[in-house]
Amino acid sequence: MKTLKGQEGFTLVEIIAVLIILGILAAVAVPRYIDLETNAKLRAIDAAVSELNGRESLAWADVKISASGYGTTGEARVWDKMTAPDTQYGSATRPFLGLDYVWAATIATQNGATNLSFKNGTPVSLTRTISSNTQPANWRKTTP
């Protein structure tokens, strides 16, 4: 058999090996990037829940150190601070988190449940437990 001189290239085995490696990488990496936007929106909701809990702590502390203390109307006063318009805590009938966050409905009660979404993403259910004389209210996600 006559060998050709000066010809260089890849063998069929090398090409197939590279294609298999690329296929494996694509199978692993592509699904992660497809869900990247959804995951980012869910992480934004996590940040919002942390923000709400921080605000609750501030509003609760503000009520606790006020001249009248927490007393029997403490929870109502904390909720008023969280939802009062034109304050640092909230706006209208629910806490204001920015224009990218969308509340599904007005929170009718202080310990109610509602849905929150980020930039028209998947709505996430949130619940709020009321505050007491010993601890601030707490927001938590009830769906992933």
pLDDT digits (tens, 9 = 90+) for 87-124: 555 555 677 777 788 777 666 567 777 888 887 778 88
Residue 125 lies in a domain: yes
**% residues pLDDT > 90 (the chain):** 22
Residue 3 lies in a domain: no
Q: State the Cα angle at 135 between 65 and 138, rounded to 5°.
A: 120
What pLDDT does 68 receive? 87
Domain containing 98 equals 33-141
pTM of the model: 0.70
Tokens found for residue 79: 């909720």
Residue 28 lies in a domain: no
Residue 7 lies in a domain: no
Residue 92 lies in a domain: yes
Residue 39 lies in a domain: yes
What pLDDT does 92 receive? 56
Q: Is residue 2 pLDDT above 90, yes or no?
A: no
What pLDDT does 60 receive? 92
Residue 15 lies in a domain: no
15 burial level (CB within 10 Å; 0-12, 13-18, 19+): exposed
Contact residues for 105 (Cβ-Cβ < 8 A; gap 6+): 114, 115
Q: Is residue 48 pLDDT above 70, yes or no?
A: yes
Structural domain count of the chain: 1
State the Cα–Cα distance between residues 49 and 82, nearest whole angstrom. Answer: 13
What pLDDT does 105 receive? 64
Residue 44 lies in a domain: yes
